[in-house]
Amino acid sequence: MFRPIIKLAFLAKAAFEVVREKVEDCLDSLTSKAGEYRTCGKEQLQESREKAKEIVQEVSQQVWQRSEVLESQVRERIRRQVADFSLGALGDSTEINELRAEIATLRAELAELKSMRAMV
């Protein structure tokens, strides 16, 4: 249930980053070529449409790829945290088992001392 919501969050973040970069690139390109632009007929309009389609496809691919990268980074971070937690829990359980063994040994020694005392 949460996976689609998380995927949408990654897509939104990636889309924002990619669109911001594209807008900055387009603005840079427009300012550098401001003197070269002239009004033309249908050919330039068609070229502009094709160029816009190419840009939209490129942006959508970049958004998807960036989303995948962000998702994999978060997954890896979660895996590392789970592994760290698991190792910590394993260490805690080992210490607990060692303490239990030590307590059992001490109880046995106490029982032995009591039995020796009862004999005397």
Top pLDDT among 88 and 94 is at 94
Per-domain residue ranges for the chain?
Answer: 2-32+40-90
With beta carbons less than 8 A apart as the criterion, state whether 18 and 67 touch: no
Task: Return the CA Rg of the chain.
Answer: 34
Looking at the chain, the whole-number percentage of residues with pLDDT higher than 70 is 83
pLDDT for the residue 1: 64
Predicted confidence (pLDDT) per residue in 12-69, tens digit: 888 888 888 888 888 888 777 765 655 555 667 678 788 888 988 888 898 889 888 8
pLDDT for the residue 32: 72
pLDDT for the residue 8: 82
Burial readout 1-15 (b: 16 or more C-beta within 10 A, e: otherwise): eeeeeeeeebbeebb
Q: How far is it, in rounded angstroms, from Cα 18 to Cα 78?
A: 25
Token pair listed for 91: 């260490």
Q: How far is it, in rounded angstroms, from Cα 10 to Cα 69?
A: 9
